[in-house]
């Protein structure tokens, strides 16, 4: 599944790329990569679950809108994550991708 979203005044991520999560049961991993996509956020979803395209679209769109994300390519490998797990992992991944490399130790 592929999705593309565009928001006004998009912001990309701080790091060139970032990875978060594991493809355990009920979970997923996400790779975020900074790319010149003419301001768009592109998402590729690999999932064994069929029939939830509409929900994926809503969850991803809400995330992109809330975070004003653009010029980012996201690759998601899903293993039956529920919508909340998806949006939680996306928010965690974004926080990770925006951590300043120098001062961001915690």
Partner 1 sequence: MGSDVKRVWNSLELDTEQRLKSVAHLVKEGKVVAAEDAVALLEGVIRPGDKVCIEGDNQKQADFLAECLCQVDPEKVYDLHMVQSVVSLSTHLDVFEKGVAKKLDYSFSGPQAGRLAEFVRDGKLQLGAIHTYLELFARYFGDLVPRVALVVGYQADKKGNLYTGFNTEETPMIAEAVAFKQGIVVAQVNEVVDELPRVDIPADWVDFVVEAPKPFYIEPLFTRDPGLITDVQVLMAMMALKGVYAEYGVQSLNHGIGFATAAIELLLPTYGEELDLKGKVCSYFALNPHPTLIPAIESGFVKSIHSFGGELGMEKYVQARSDVFFIGPDGTMRSNRANCQVAGLYAMDMFIGGTLQIDKYGNSSTATANRIAGFGGAPNMGCDAKGRRHSSGAWLKCGQEYTVQQGEIGPALTRGKKLVVQMVETFGEKMVPAFVEELDAFKLQENANLDIPPVMIYSDDLTHIITEEGIAYMNRCANLQEKMAAIRAVAGYTEIGLQENPNETKALREKGVVKTPQDLGIDVSKANRSMLAAKNVRDLVEWSGGLYNPPARFRNW
Return residues touching partner 1 (CB under 8 A): 26, 49, 52, 55, 58-59, 80, 82-85, 87-88, 91-92, 94-95
Report the nearest approach of partner 1 to the CB of residue 88 (Å): 6
Between residues 39 and 77, which has the closer beta carbon with respect to partner 1? 77
**Nearest distance from C-beta of residue 38 to partner 1, angstroms:** 27
Structure tokens belonging to residue 34? 């900074």
Looking at the chain, the number of H-run helices and the number of E-run strands are 2, 5
CA 79 centroid distance within chain = 15
Closer to partner 1 at the Cβ: 42 or 99? Answer: 99
At 2, give phi and psi (nearest 5°): -125, 140
Integer Cα distance of 98 and 24 in angstroms:
25
C-beta of 41 vs 90, nearer to partner 1: 90
Least distance between partner 1 and beta carbon 62 (Å): 10
Q: How far apart, in whole angstroms, are the C-alpha atoms of residue 64 and residue 71?
A: 11
CB of 80 to partner 1, least distance (A): 7
């Amino acid at each position: 599944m592929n999705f593309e979203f565009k928001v006004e005044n998009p912001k990309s991520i701080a790091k060139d790329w970032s990875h978060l999560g594991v493809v355990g049961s009920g979970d997923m991993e996400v790779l975020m990569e900074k790319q010149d996509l003419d301001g768009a956020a592109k998402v590729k979803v690999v999932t064994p679950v069929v029939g939830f395209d509409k929900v994926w679209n809503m969850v991803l769109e809400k995330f992109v809108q809330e975070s004003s994300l653009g010029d980012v390519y996201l690759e998601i490998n899903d293993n039956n994550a529920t919508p909340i797990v998806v949006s939680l992992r996306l928010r965690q991944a974004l926080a990770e991708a925006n951590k300043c490399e120098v001062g961001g130790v915690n």
